[in-house]
């Protein structure tokens, strides 16, 4: 249990080492890596998530940070004002600013409300689904302050139910345990319906991947759906039917969803049935690579094929293997596209930048004996803002080729 005085000022002082790039932090870079902070006994003994005033090597205050001596990201900038008090009111002000942007974008309350550092709440993800919000406290400070964070969220947005999704790789890197619970309100009786791009998606907020739904692909779903009008669409690594259901909503004759998760495919089917289009959706459960090989052997061809795999290159160490996997996806998917049809390829790996991902995709298409022109380069939607100083916040890339 975090002591009640844990976040009360005055905050202790931590100091950058002389070799740290203080200028980058002053200009907006939000992280201090292990090795860039003077780790004296007092700093080393700070509890994960503790607040401190960061000074540069010349002892000039730079702002308030949260410190986790157990993490490779040893400090995260919270506020450039060294006198800032980080409490429920401070969190509410950040949430209000984030909410104003989303309300300018969307007519209905279904969106990513907080995109971590880019919204000034480091390590915090909040997806909103009507009167329910899913919070991912992926940094130690937000885990320690989950109570004030949830209270501020309910007060600012008016949501009545909040899920705390404490799972995923990011929490492991912070030394945090896994836990998915209702933080406030009653658990939903079943999947939560989410309208997006004219389709209805079903989100399993307590047992699905991440927050139960991926809002980031919204503009790319819309583009792929436009191409699929009147045609046949194949949605590989479909999860709950992101591209396939959008295609059906925009007039696709038929959509086939492929995923390893039977539960995700059941949600995709439920979404299609909720739209009154269940008879126009087919599902294949199993390994996506195997499924594409089987479809090719069957002579299947589609007007639009989209592959949206998990992050094959979640870190720099996995980059080479990840790029080979993206190339293989493209090689297996390209033969399934009819002449003049479209192939959509996606990467959510921040370690694979756009140029590397584009090259791997083009190699795979070429190895399949096909040629194509790029007709769309898409990113995450505007409810997933990117911090210009932090490449990791701009992780999603989507390419559509006409073959």
Label residue 262 by pLDDT band (50, 70, 90): very high
Report the pLDDT value the prediction gives residue 3, as an integer from 0 to 100: 53
Mean pLDDT confidence for 65-89: 97
Is residue 303 within 8 Å of residue 231, measured between CB atoms?
A: yes
Report the pLDDT value the prediction gives residue 5, as an integer from 0 to 100: 53
Map residue 340 onto helix, strand or coil.
strand
Catalytic residue flag (residue 348): yes
Percent of the chain with pLDDT over 70: 99
Helix (H) or strand (E) holding 262: helix 262-274
Choose the weakest-confidence range: 4-8, 63-67, 340-344: 4-8
CA distance 167 to 134: 12
CA dihedral 148, 153, 154, 159 (to 10 degrees): -150
Which 8-state DSSP code applies to residue 316? G
Q: What is the mean pLDDT of the chain?
A: 95
Choose the weakest-confidence range: 101-105, 213-217, 283-287, 315-319: 315-319
Label residue 21 by pLDDT band (50, 70, 90): confident
* Backbone φ, ψ for residue 395 (5° rounding): -80, -30
- Give CA separation, 168 vs 139, 163, 182, 282, in Å: 11, 15, 17, 30
CA distance 376 to 121: 31
Report the pLDDT value the prediction gives residue 208, as an integer from 0 to 100: 77
Query: Which tens digit of pLDDT belongs to each residue from 193-215?
Result: 999 999 999 999 998 788 999 99
CATH 3.30.750.80 fits 88-184, yes or no: yes
Asked whether residue 339 carries a pLDDT value surpassing 60, the answer given is: yes
Chain center to CA of 238: 16
Label residue 1 by pLDDT band (50, 70, 90): very low
Asked whether residue 2 carries a pLDDT value surpassing 70, the answer given is: no
Domain 13-79 CATH superfamily: PUA domain (2.30.130.10)
Enter the CATH code of domain 192-402. 3.40.50.150
Active-site residue, from 257, 307, 346, 348: 348
CATH 3.30.750.80 maps onto the chain at 88-184
Q: Is the pTM of this model over 0.85?
A: yes
Asked whether residue 265 carries a pLDDT value surpassing 70, the answer given is: yes
CA distance 322 to 327: 9
Mean pLDDT confidence for 39-55: 96
CATH 2.30.130.10 maps onto the chain at 13-79
């Amino acid at each position: 249990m975090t002591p009640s005085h844990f976040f009360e000022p005055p905050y202790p002082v931590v100091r950058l080492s002389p070799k740290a790039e203080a200028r980058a932090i002053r200009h907006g870079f939000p992280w201090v890596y292990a090795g860039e902070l003077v780790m004296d006994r007092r700093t080393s003994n700070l509890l994960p998530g503790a607040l401190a005033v960061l000074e540069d090597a010349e002892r000039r205050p730079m702002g308030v940070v949260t410190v986790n001596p157990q993490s490779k990201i040893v400090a995260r900038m919270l506020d450039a004002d060294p006198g800032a008090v980080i409490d429920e009111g401070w969190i509410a002000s950040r949430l209000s600013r984030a909410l104003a942007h989303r309300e300018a974008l969307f007519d209905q309350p279904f969106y990513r409300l907080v995109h971590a550092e880019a919204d000034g709440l480091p390590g915090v993800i909040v997806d909103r689904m009507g009167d329910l919000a899913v919070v991912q406290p992926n940094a130690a400070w937000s885990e320690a302050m989950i109570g004030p964070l949830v209270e501020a969220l309910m007060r600012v947005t008016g949501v009545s139910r909040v899920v705390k999704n404490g799972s995923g790789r990011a929490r492991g890197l912070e030394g945090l345990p896994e836990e998915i619970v209702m933080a406030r309100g009653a658990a939903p009786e079943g999947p939560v319906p989410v309208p997006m791009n004219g389709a209805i998606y079903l989100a399993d907020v307590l047992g699905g991947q991440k927050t139960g739904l991926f809002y980031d692909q919204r503009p790319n779903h819309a583009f792929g759906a436009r191409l699929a009008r009147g045609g046949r669409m194949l949605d590989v690594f479909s999860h709950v039917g992101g591209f396939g259901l959008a295609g059906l909503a925009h007039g696709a004759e038929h959509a086939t969803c492929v995923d390893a998760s039977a539960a995700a495919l059941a949600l995709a089917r439920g979404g299609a049935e909720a739209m009154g289009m269940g008879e126009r959706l087919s599902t294949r459960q199993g390994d996506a690579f195997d499924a594409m090989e089987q479809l090719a052997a069957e002579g299947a061809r589609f007007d639009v094929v989209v592959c949206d795999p998990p992050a094959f290159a979640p870190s720099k160490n996995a980059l080479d293997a990840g790029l080979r996997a993206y190339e293989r996806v493209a090689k297996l998917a390209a033969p399934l596209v009819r002449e003049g049809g479209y192939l959509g390829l996606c990467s959510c790996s921040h370690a694979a930048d756009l140029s590397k991902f584009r090259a791997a995709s083009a190699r795979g298409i070429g190895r399949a004996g096909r040629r194509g022109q790029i007709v769309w380069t898409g990113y995450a939607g505007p409810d997933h803002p990117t911090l210009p100083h932090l490449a990791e916040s701009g992780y999603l890339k989507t390419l559509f080729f006409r073959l």
